[in-house]
Structure 1
Amino acid sequence: MDIRMPSAEERAAWLKAGEDLLRTDTAFLQHLRDIDISVLRHLVHSDVADKSQMQMRELLRLNGSFHTLWEYTDDQCKRLQKLLHQGDLQSSQHVFPLSHMKSIQELYIQYFSSFTNFVVIRGFDYISKKMSNYWKENISSLKKLVSKTQKSESSVSICLFRIMHECFREQINQYTFTLALLSKDAPEIAGNEQLNETLEGMMDLKIYISQVLDEAALTRDLWKSLGQKLTDILCRPERRLREDSKNIPIALSTERFGHNRILLCDDILIHLQGSDIRCYDLTTVWTEVITKENSDMQYENIILLLKICRNLLKVITPEEQLTFHTPEPHHQVVWHWKVKQAVRQCLLRSRDFPLWGKGSKGQSPADAPACRFSTYTFKNEGKFKNAIYEGDWNQGKPHGKGTMKWEDGRNYTGDFENGLEHGFGVFLVPLLDAGYDCYKCHWNQGKKQRYGICEYSTKTVYRGYFKDDVRHGFGILESCRGESNSFRYVGNWMNDKRHGYGVLESMERGELYIGMWQDDQREGCGIVVTQSGLCYEGVFQQNKLTGKGILLSEDNSLYEGEFTEDLQVKGKGKMTFSDGTTIEGTFSNTFGNGLQVQGFMTTTSNSDLSDEAAHLQLGVRGLPVLERWPGIFDPYVEYLHSGAPDAIEEAYLGFHVENGRSLRSKILERPASLGNISYVTCSRKPEESHVKKSDFLKDLKQQQNLEQLQQYLEKSLQSSTHLLGKLLQTLVLVFQVSYSGIGANKHLLTMAQDEMKNYAEKIAQIIRDCVPQLFPQNSKDEESRMEMSMCSAVLNLMLPAFYPELSMLYMLYHDKDNGLYWQGILHLGLLSETKLLEFLDVQKHLWPLKDLQLTSKQRYSLVHDQCFISAIECVQKISTTVDPRRKLDTLFRTVDEIERTVSAVLMRDYKLPVDDLLPLLIYVVSRARIQHLGAELHYVRDMVGAGLEGGITDFLLTALESCYLHIQKQELRRGRFLDFI
C-alpha cells in the first residue's frame, strides 16, 4: 500500500499544533502541582478530619483520580516534548490527544465522577469547616489558584470547589481550541478523519462535564432541602437526581399534584409522603403509558380513570403497580422517557456519554429491556415475604432462570414464569435437625407437577410424579439400602398417599406385599410373600388381612381360611399338607403351645392335592392385570398426544430420562458481568437434549409397512435413549421389584406372564395409535390377527430384558418335574451309545455305525461322543437364546441334523416318520443334558402363544415335550433298565 508523505505545509501545521499543546500541558501540569501542594496534601494528611466519615472517604477517591490524571498527562507531555525536540512530529499519531482520545475521555469521566460525588455530599463545606483555621491562615494562597473573576466574593468552600474543577474544564477547552484551529488551517492534511473524530470527542466531553456538574449541583440542593433525616436515609455519593415532581408535575392517580413528591434518581424511584419514604429499585421497574388498548384493567375502570386523571403512566414493580398522572401530555412523555433511560443505564451500570441528547454520533439511546437480570428482596406478605430473588425478570415478575432464598434457609433455584416456580427447579428446605429436604422437580404455577425426585432428611428418596404439590401417579419411595428398617414402595399414589396398585418390599420384616392400597394403607386384594417362602393371599382392610385367605408354604402345604391381623392362622379353615392329608376345623395359635386345631383330619395318599397346591397361582383373580401400573403408561400417552416435544420430555417421562442419568442437576448459570444486559430478550434458545435424537413421532410415521415397523421397534426398544427404550427400562424396573428377590416365587408365575403380555399389548396399542395407516380397517378376524401379530412381535422384542426374572420363575415352578427329568438324564448317561440306541428301540439300520460286526466293546470305543453329535450340539443351543422363536428354530435345525445323519447312513434322502423320530429325539435330548428343559419348553409354549396351534411347529414342540416326559418315567429314574445292559 502506498503511503503519502506529508507536505511541508502539513508538517508545519502539525508542528504548530504540537507546540500549542505542549504549552497548554505545561501550564496545566504546573497548576496541578500548585493544587496538590496547597490543597490536597493538607486535606489528605490532616489529622483534624475524621477519616471514617463519608466525606473523607470520597476525598481520598478524588485524590486518587486527580493523581492518575496528572501522571497520565505528564507522561504524554514528556513524549510530545521529545518528539518536538527531535523534529519527528509528522502525523496525527504523534499529536496528543489525537491518538489517545478514548483514554482522555475515560480519565476525565473518572475524575469528574469522583469530584461530583464529593460535591453531592457537600464535601467542600465539610472540609472548610473542619479545617477552618488552616484556610484562614492560607486564604491568600488559596485564592491565587482561583480564576481572577469573583475572588473577593468567594467563600472557602466555593474556592475549593472552583479550584478542583475549573482548571480541568479549561484544559479541555484548550484542547478543543487547538484542534479546531488545526482543522481550520489544514483541512486536507493526512489524518483529517481522525482529527474530526477527536474534535467531536472533545466537544462531547465538554458537554458531559457541564451536565454532570449541573446534575451534581441539583442533587446537592435536593439533599439540603429535604432535611437531615431524609438526607441520611437517601443520600449516597454516587446517587444523582434525574427528575423532580416539583419541576415537572406528576402524582399518583389517587393524589393531587404537589400533595406528595416524586423523585427520580439514577438508581431508585422515590415517593415521599410526609415522613413516609418508599423507594423502588430501578433494576426492577418497568414503565408504560396507559391507553385503552394496552391497559390490563377492566374497560369501565380505565374509562373512568382516564376521565378523572389524564395522561396516565404505569410503573410496574415486583410487588406493586403504580399509576401516575400528569397535567400535560408533554410531562407524561418526559417522565416516561427519563424513567426508561434511567432504568436502562442502571441495568448497564454505565452512564450515557453525554448524559442527555444524541451526542456527536447522532445515535438515540435504546429503551430499557423488558427482560433483565436483577436482585430484589420481597417485603409484602405472601409466599415470598422477606425472600431474596436473584435472576431473570419480565414486567415486574420473576421470569426465566433464578434463585429465591428465604430467611429460614429455604432455597429454590430453577425456572420461573410470571412470578411463580414453573419448569424445572431444585428446592431445598432446611429442618430443625440440621438436615434438609431436597426437591428436584418440575413445577407448574408454583406447585410441583409431573416428574420429580425428592431426597428427604430421613434418607428416604421419592422418584415419581406429582400433581398440585403432592405425590400423585406412579412413583418409587425407598429408604437407604443396607439399614435394618429399609423399605421400597413402587406403585401408584394419590394426594400424597399410596393408592391403587403397588408393591412394598420391607427388609426389616423380610416380606413383599403386592396388591391394592388406599389412603396409605393396604386395602383390597393383596399378596404377601416372605423370605421363608410363605405366601399369603386375601383381602386387606386398613392394613390388615380380614376374612378368608390363602397360605402356601414352601413344602406346598396349603391353608384356606381365617387369619389374625398379624397373618397368623386362626379361625375356621382347611389345611392340606404336601402328602395329601387334610385337616378342616377351627385353628388357634397361642404363644408357647404352637398351632392347635379342633376339627376333622383326613389321611390320603392323593398326590393330586399336593400337585394342585404346588402349582396354585396367586393374584390371578383378585389382581386383574389391567389394574396394574396404569401410572407408567398414562404420562407416556399424554406426552405423545402433546406432540412429543423435546422441551417437556423430562417433565412427562422423567423416569425414563432419569434412568438415562440425565435429569438436570444444575441450573443455567448467569455470568457475573451484566455488561450485555441490554441484549437480553424474552426469547431463549432451547437447551439441547442430553441425547441427540430425531423426532419420535416423525420417524415412526415414516415406516412404510409392518416389516419396516418391526425393524424400527427392534432398534428403538434396544436403545437406552429412545422413548420406547426408556419406557421399557421402567417396565423392567417394576418387574424386577415384583418378581426378583423375595418376589421370585413360583406361585407368581402366571401374574408375571400376564403382566409381560399386558406390557406388549399396551406398547402395541401406542404404536397402532401413532401409525393407524399401517393397520387398515379390515374384517374383525383380519384386524384381530394383525393385532395379535403386532403384540407377538413386540413381546418377542421385549423378552430379553425380562428374561432373567421370568426364567427364574419358570425354573422354580417346574423344579419338581425338572428334578425327575434330571434323574432320568443321569441314569441314561450310564448307558453306552449302542445300548442307549437299542434301549430306545431305534432301528439298527438307522444307527450311524460303519461296521456292525465289531464287538460291543470295540463299537463303543469307536462311536462314543460321535453319534448324532451335530444334532446334540444344535439342541443345546436352545438354552443360549432368549427369543422363543429362535428356540423353535433350534428345534427345527435339530430335527434336520438328525435326518441329515440318517440320510448319510442310508445314503439317500430320508424323512423320518414319527415312530422313528421320537426315539432318536429322545437319544439326542438325553445326550444334550439340558438342565432346565421343562422351564424352556413351557416358556416357549407360553410366550409364542396361539400361533403354535396346529402345524409342524406345534408338532415338533409337542414331540420335544414328549421326550421330556418320557425321560421322567419311573423306570428311567430308578434305573430299572440297567438289567438291559
Structure 2
Amino acid sequence: MTTLIRPLKKSSFYMSLDVFPYKSTLSNLLMAFTDLSKKVGSASLELTQILRTGGEITQAYIFTNYQDFSDEFKKYSQSFSDMLAVGGFEYCGKNGSSCLEKAEMTLADLLEEGKGDKGNSSLLFRRIMQFPLKQLKEYSRLANKLSLAYENTSNEFNLLNKISLCWDGLKYSSTMDHSIADNTRAFWEGCSPKIADTLKIPNRRLLKESKASPLALQNAGRFSVHLFLLFNDLFVHVQYASHQVYQLETVWVETPLSDTDQSQNLVVITTPEDTLNLCASTPAEKVEWLMSLNSSINKVLSSQKSVARRGSTERLTPPVVRQAGHKFTKHGIYKDSTYNGYWMNGKIHGKGELVWADGRKYVGKFKNGFLHGPGVMTIPKGEGQEEIQDANWKDGRLHGPTIITYANGDMYEGYFKEGQRSGHGIYRQGRHMADTASIYIGEWDKDTKHGYGVMDDILRGEKYMGMWQDDCRHGNGIVVTLDGMYFEGNFIQNKMSGFGLMLTDDNSCFEGEFSGITQLQGKGTLILPNGDHIEGMFNGSWNEGLKISGTFWKTKTSPSVEKSSHAHGIKSSVYGSLAVPPDNKWGDIFYHCNATLGYSGEGKPDLTKAWESVAVSVSAGRNPKSSNRSRLRGSLLEELEVIPPHSTGKLTLERYTQISNYLKKAFETPFHPLGKLMEDVVNVFRATYIGIGAHPRLLHHAIEEIRSCVAKMYKTVRLLFPDLPPDGGPLQVFSESSKHNTEPFPKSTEEVAKFFQRQVSEISSPEEEEDCEVVSAAGLLHPLLLPKIYPALFDLYALYNDKEDEKCWERIQRLTRQGDMALMAYLGIDQKFWLLGENDPLKKLSSLREQCYAEAVDTLQQLSTALAQQRKLKVLKKNFIEIQRHISADIRFSNMIFGLFQAVQNKLGEDFVWCMDDLFPIFQYIVVRAKIHHLGAEIHLVDDLMESHLEYGELGIMFTTLKACYFQIQTEKMPS
C-alpha cells in the first residue's frame, strides 16, 4: 500500500494542492494511511512466521495488543471521514486525475469492485483510501474462524471472540461515521456559501436539520423562515441571510412542565445570551430532537477532561453545571468579553475567569450571571499601570471586605456596600514623601469619610482624631502635631470653630474661641506655664502673633492644680470633654463581627446561628497547601472546629478554663470572627497612637479606648459563651468538685473587707484554694489584647513619664555605684536582713544573700518584658492565702516579692513576722539593683490597668509600697 503514497507525495498531483483549503486534512489522511500500512504489514509478517513454525497463534502481537490496532484504525477512520466531509476526494479528483489513473493501473487487483467507476477520479481516490477499512470485516471473520480451533471454555477462545466483536463494532461505527460525513458533504454543497465559509471545518458533522425533521420557532411571523441545524459541536439558527451559532457546551435543553396543547411539543433551548422556544411537529419528533441534542451535548462535555463525570457518559440528560468557554456578543454587561469557567442553566455560576475587550480581567466567583463572592478584578489604567480589586462581590457590585490597590499607588482596605465604600476602612493615599501622603482609618458612608475616623497627614505632620461628614472634618475632634501642639474642640467643614482647647509643648493652655487651628478669635483664657493666666478677647495666630484685650492674673505662690491620673500638668478643666467619647469609636468594627455571628444588635442573640457562622468561617480558612506555616494554621483551625461547652447554665472552673483556651486560639487566627475582630482592633489602635499619635497627651484617650474596646469585645465573646458573667464580673468560680458556690464580688469597701475575711476563714488547705478563680472581662481579655498593642501603649507611657523617669534613672545610676553593704546601710535596712557570712561577717557577703537578692532583682527586671501582668500573680497564690481568691494579673513585681520573702523567711525562721518598716527598705534595695529605666512608666501602666477589686488587701499594700519606693528614690537626699 505504501507504494501508492510515495509517488502521490512526490507527484505534481500533491504539489497542485497547495491552494487546497484542507491540505492538512489530506496530509493527515496520507500519514495515517502510511502508518496503518506499516503496522498491518508488520503484523502480517509476524503471523505468517508463527504459522510456518507452528507457534501459538494467540501470542501474535496483532492478538495480544489488538486494542493498539483498533486505535490505529479509529485514527485512520477519523481522517478518512474528515476528508470525506469537506469534499476532499472530489477536489483531489479534479486536480489529480492523471496521477490517479496511473494509480488505478498499479492497484487494479485491489479495486476489482470499483472497475465500473473507471474515469471517475474522485471515486477512484476515495476507494483507494477506503480499502483498509473494508478489510475490517475480514479481520473479524478470521478471528472468528481461528476461535473454532479452541475449546469454548479456553482463554484463547474468549480472547479471539473478544477480538472479533471489537472488529465488528469498529466496522459498524466507521460505516456510520462515513455515512454522516457523506451527508455533511452533501449539505455543504447545497447550503449558502456564507454558511459554508463560516462553519465548514473537517471534523464538523451535520446530525440533524429542521428541513428533514421539522422544528419551528414559537410565535414566529407568518412569512419568516427559520432553519435549525444540529452539528456535533454546534446548534445553528439560520434566518434569511444571517445565522446565529451556539456552542453545544453552552446549550441547555429542557421541556416545559405544563401539558397544554401549546407546550406538549415545545423544546426550550437556553444559551448564555438567548432563549429559544422551539415547537416540534409531533411528540415523536420532539423526542428525537431531545435525544439528539442531549446526546450531542453529552459527547462534547465528555471530551473535556476538566469536567468531572460520574458513571457512564451516555447519560439521559447533560449536567446542569458544567465548565465551558464563551465570548459574549450581545450581553449588556459582558458584551465583547470572553468567559471561561463554570455555568448553570445558561448563566455564569461558580468559579471562572472573565476578560473584557478593554483589558479588564476578573477571576473569582459568580452566581446567577453576576460577580458574586470572592474575586480579583484587574483594571488597566494605561502606561503599564493597573488597578487591582481583591474583594467580595454581590450581584455584580463590590460588597463586603475589600482590598483595592489603585494605579497611582493609593490603597483602600475595608468594607464596601453596593459598590461604595461603607463601614470601616483604611485608605492610604500617596507614596512616602508624595505631595498628598496621608492615611485615613475609620468609618465610611456612600464613598465618603463619615463617622469617627483618624487621619494621619504625613507631610503636614499632624493627626486628626474625630468625627467626619462628607469627607470633611465635622464634629468633635482632636488634632496633635509633631511640634507638640494639642487641639481639642468642634470642627465644621474641616475648620476648628467655636469653643476649644489648645495645649502647647511648653504647657501653655488656651480655652476659648477658635476660627481654625492655632487661630484664636474671641473670648478665652490663656494659662501660662507658671500658672499666670490672661482672660479677655484674643485675635490672631498663635504662631505669628496675637492681639489681646483682657486682664492678667498672677498665680498664687503655691498653686494647687487639680490633677487626674492622666492629666498631670494640664491646667484645663475641659481636657477630654470636647473629644469623641470612647464608646462612640470603632463601632463599625464590632458591628461587622456581631453581624458575622448573626446578631444585628436587636433582640436576643441566636447561639446556634452564631456557632454555625464560626464553623463556616473556620472551614473557609482551611488551605490545602503543604508549607509548614499552612500546616500549622490548618492544625489550629482543626482545633477551633471543636466547640467547647458554651451554654450549660453554670460556669465552673473547668468550663472557664476550656473557654479561655479556646479564645486564645480563636483570637490568634484571622479566619475566626473573633480573630478578625482582634486584628482590626489592634490595627486601629496602632494607627491611632503610633507616629504622630505617639503624643503624651493622648495617653488618657488611649486608656479610655482600651477599656471601651475590652467591654465591647467581651459583649461579642458572650454571643458565643453566654455562661460568662453578663456584667463583666468580677465573679468567683469554683471547681465542679468544690463545695463553694459561684458568687460575685461585693461593691463597697466594707463589704470587700468582710468578704475577704469570710473567704479566708473558709479555706482549709492550699489545694482547696487552687480550685477557684476570679472571672472578669479584663482578666479574660487583657492577656490577649495587651501583648499585641503593648509597644504603642508603652511608648505613650514612656513619653508621659519621661521627665520623672529620667530623674529617677539618674539617681538609680548614682546609687548603684555603692557597694551592697554601703547601699543597705544608706537605705536603712536592718542588719539582720544583710545576710552576712558567718565566718567573716564584716568583709564577706554570704552566697546566700547574693543568691536571694539576685533572684529578686532578676524577677523585678521582668517588668520590661512581661506583657500580660496577670500571669505573674499566680506565684503569690501559694503564699498569700488571705487574698488567694482575688488575684488578677495587673501587677508584675509579685515574683520578686515571693522570692525575697521565701529566702529571708528560710533564713530568719518560719515564726518571723514581717512589718512594713522592714519590708520598705528591702524593696528600695531591690528596685535600685534592678535598674529599670522606665520604672515610672511601668508603675503607671500597672496602676491604670489594675482592676478595682485588686486594690484591697495585701496586693494593694505591696503595689503602694513599690510606688512609694519610686517616689522615695526621686525625692530622697542622695549620699555624697
The TM-score range, normalised by the shorter chain, is 0.7 to 0.9
Match of 1:6 in 2: none
2:144 corresponds to which of 175, 180, 183: 180
Superposition pairs of residues 876-895 of structure 1, within 5 angstroms: 876-885=861-870, 891=893, 894=896
1:201 corresponds to which of 155, 166, 170: 166
With over 3 angstroms needed to count, the CA separation of the structure-2 counterparts of 1:414 and 1:936, relative to structure 1, is same
> Which string of whole-angstrom CA distances, capped at 9 and with x for unpartnered residues, describes residues 809-859 of structure 1?
22222334434544654666687777766666666777666899999xx79
With over 3 angstroms needed to count, the CA separation of the structure-2 counterparts of 1:67 and 1:288, relative to structure 1, is same
Take 2:329 and 2:920, find their aligned partners in 1: how far apart are those partners?
Answer: 89
Match of 1:110 in 2: 75
Match of 2:952 in 1: 950
Match of 2:296 in 1: 342
Displacement of 1:211 in angstroms is 0.6
Displacement of 1:249 in angstroms is 1.5
With over 3 angstroms needed to count, the CA separation of the structure-2 counterparts of 1:230 and 1:902, relative to structure 1, is closer
Indicate the percent of aligned positions where both proteins have the same amino acid. Answer: 29
The alignment partner of 1:82 has SS state of helix
Q: What TM-score results when the alignment is normalised by the length of structure 2?
A: 0.81
Displacement of 1:559 in angstroms is 1.8
The alignment partner of 2:497 has SS state of strand
With over 3 angstroms needed to count, the CA separation of the structure-2 counterparts of 1:885 and 1:308, relative to structure 1, is closer
Query: What amino acid does structure 1 have at the position aligned with 2:474?
Result: E
Q: What TM-score results when the alignment is normalised by the length of structure 1?
A: 0.81
Match of 1:12 in 2: none
1:383 corresponds to which of 310, 333, 340: 333
Take 1:225 and 1:324, find their aligned partners in 2: how far apart are those partners?
Answer: 25
Take 1:43 and 1:647, find their aligned partners in 2: how far apart are those partners?
Answer: 75
Point out the more displaced range, 255-264 or 946-955: 255-264
The alignment partner of 2:776 has SS state of helix
With over 3 angstroms needed to count, the CA separation of the structure-2 counterparts of 1:184 and 1:329, relative to structure 1, is farther
> Is 1:804 aligned with 2:796?
no
2:584 corresponds to which of 627, 650, 653: 627
Take 2:277 and 2:655, find their aligned partners in 1: how far apart are those partners?
Answer: 65
Take 2:940 and 2:312, find their aligned partners in 1: how far apart are those partners?
Answer: 88
The alignment partner of 2:18 has SS state of coil
Query: What amino acid does structure 1 have at the position aligned with 2:959?
Result: L
| Structure 2 residues without counterparts, runs of 5 or longer | 306-310, 599-608, 732-742, 747-772, 877-891
2:569 corresponds to which of 589, 614, 632: 614
Take 2:80 and 2:930, find their aligned partners in 1: how far apart are those partners?
Answer: 100
Displacement of 1:707 in angstroms is 3.6
With over 3 angstroms needed to count, the CA separation of the structure-2 counterparts of 1:173 and 1:530, relative to structure 1, is same
Match of 2:782 in 1: 795
Query: What amino acid does structure 1 have at the position aligned with 2:18?
Result: K
With over 3 angstroms needed to count, the CA separation of the structure-2 counterparts of 1:558 and 1:127, relative to structure 1, is same
Take 1:913 and 1:282, find their aligned partners in 2: how far apart are those partners?
Answer: 94
With over 3 angstroms needed to count, the CA separation of the structure-2 counterparts of 1:476 and 1:228, relative to structure 1, is same
Match of 1:936 in 2: 938
Point out the more displaced range, 638-647 or 954-963: 638-647
Take 1:863 and 1:79, find their aligned partners in 2: how far apart are those partners?
Answer: 101
Take 1:278 and 1:632, find their aligned partners in 2: how far apart are those partners?
Answer: 52
Match of 1:155 in 2: 120
The alignment partner of 2:112 has SS state of coil
RMSD, aligned CA: 4.2
8 Å CA contact retained: 1:514, 1:527: yes
The alignment partner of 1:693 has SS state of helix
With over 3 angstroms needed to count, the CA separation of the structure-2 counterparts of 1:797 and 1:99, relative to structure 1, is closer
> Is 1:701 aligned with 2:646?
yes
8 Å CA contact retained: 2:375, 2:392: yes
With over 3 angstroms needed to count, the CA separation of the structure-2 counterparts of 1:331 and 1:770, relative to structure 1, is same
Which of the pair has the greater relative contact order for Cα pairs under 8 Å at 6+ separation? 1
Match of 2:474 in 1: 523
Take 1:592 and 1:741, find their aligned partners in 2: how far apart are those partners?
Answer: 23
Query: What amino acid does structure 2 have at the position aligned with 1:622?
Result: A
Take 1:886 and 1:190, find their aligned partners in 2: how far apart are those partners?
Answer: 79
The alignment partner of 1:438 has SS state of strand
Point out the more displaced range, 641-650 or 793-802: 641-650
Superposition pairs of residues 415-564 of structure 1, within 5 angstroms: 415-479=365-429, 482-485=432-435, 486-564=437-515
Displacement of 1:280 in angstroms is 0.7
Query: What amino acid does structure 2 have at the position aligned with 1:227?
Result: S
Match of 2:770 in 1: none
The alignment partner of 1:71 has SS state of helix
1:53 corresponds to which of 2, 13, 20: 20
Query: What amino acid does structure 2 have at the position aligned with 1:808?
Result: D
Superposition pairs of residues 712-727 of structure 1, within 5 angstroms: 712-714=662-664, 716-717=666-667, 724-727=674-677
Match of 1:318 in 2: 272
Take 2:482 and 2:844, find their aligned partners in 1: how far apart are those partners?
Answer: 53
Take 1:753 and 1:45, find their aligned partners in 2: how far apart are those partners?
Answer: 91
Match of 2:881 in 1: none
Match of 2:754 in 1: none
Query: What amino acid does structure 2 have at the position aligned with 1:649?
Result: S
With over 3 angstroms needed to count, the CA separation of the structure-2 counterparts of 1:147 and 1:740, relative to structure 1, is same
Take 1:497 and 1:239, find their aligned partners in 2: how far apart are those partners?
Answer: 57
Displacement of 1:469 in angstroms is 2.1
Superposition pairs of residues 69-148 of structure 1, within 5 angstroms: 69-88=36-55, 90-94=56-60, 97-131=62-96, 146-148=111-113
Take 1:152 and 1:840, find their aligned partners in 2: how far apart are those partners?
Answer: 129
Superposition pairs of residues 364-379 of structure 1, within 5 angstroms: 367-379=317-329
The alignment partner of 1:218 has SS state of helix
Superposition pairs of residues 796-875 of structure 1, within 5 angstroms: 796-822=783-809, 825=812, 874-875=859-860
The alignment partner of 1:176 has SS state of helix
The alignment partner of 1:151 has SS state of helix
Displacement of 1:498 in angstroms is 1.8
With over 3 angstroms needed to count, the CA separation of the structure-2 counterparts of 1:340 and 1:860, relative to structure 1, is closer
> Which string of whole-angstrom CA distances, capped at 9 and with x for unpartnered residues, describes residues 76-99 of structure 1?
1222222233332x24122x6433
Match of 1:288 in 2: 254
Query: What amino acid does structure 1 have at the position aligned with 2:44?
Result: C
Displacement of 1:266 in angstroms is 0.5
Match of 1:669 in 2: none
The alignment partner of 2:357 has SS state of coil
Displacement of 1:193 in angstroms is 0.8
Match of 1:276 in 2: 242
Query: What amino acid does structure 2 have at the position aligned with 1:263?
Result: L
Match of 1:679 in 2: none
Displacement of 1:504 in angstroms is 1.6
With over 3 angstroms needed to count, the CA separation of the structure-2 counterparts of 1:851 and 1:339, relative to structure 1, is closer
Displacement of 1:331 in angstroms is 1.1
Displacement of 1:621 in angstroms is 5.2
Take 1:722 and 1:766, find their aligned partners in 2: how far apart are those partners?
Answer: 13
Take 1:281 and 1:539, find their aligned partners in 2: how far apart are those partners?
Answer: 65
8 Å CA contact retained: 2:8, 2:99: no
Match of 1:671 in 2: none
8 Å CA contact retained: 2:478, 2:579: no
Displacement of 1:407 in angstroms is 0.4
Query: What amino acid does structure 1 have at the position aligned with 2:86?
Result: I
The alignment partner of 2:500 has SS state of strand
> Is 1:254 aligned with 2:219?
yes
| Structure 1 residues without counterparts, runs of 5 or longer | 1-28, 293-302, 352-360, 664-687
Take 2:700 and 2:569, find their aligned partners in 1: how far apart are those partners?
Answer: 13
Displacement of 1:219 in angstroms is 0.8
8 Å CA contact retained: 1:626, 1:758: yes
Match of 1:239 in 2: 204
8 Å CA contact retained: 1:310, 1:326: no
With over 3 angstroms needed to count, the CA separation of the structure-2 counterparts of 1:196 and 1:599, relative to structure 1, is same
Query: What amino acid does structure 2 have at the position aligned with 1:941?
Result: D
1:226 corresponds to which of 191, 194, 197: 191
With over 3 angstroms needed to count, the CA separation of the structure-2 counterparts of 1:653 and 1:961, relative to structure 1, is farther
Take 2:68 and 2:324, find their aligned partners in 1: how far apart are those partners?
Answer: 31
Displacement of 1:499 in angstroms is 1.8
Take 1:524 and 1:831, find their aligned partners in 2: how far apart are those partners?
Answer: 57
> Is 1:649 aligned with 2:600?
no
Displacement of 1:868 in angstroms is 6.2
Query: What amino acid does structure 1 have at the position aligned with 2:617?
Result: E
Displacement of 1:73 in angstroms is 1.2
> Which string of whole-angstrom CA distances, capped at 9 and with x for unpartnered residues, describes residues 50-81 of structure 1?
41321433222221121121111111122222
Query: What amino acid does structure 1 have at the position aligned with 2:242?
Result: D
- In the comparison of the two structures, how many residue pairs are matched? 888
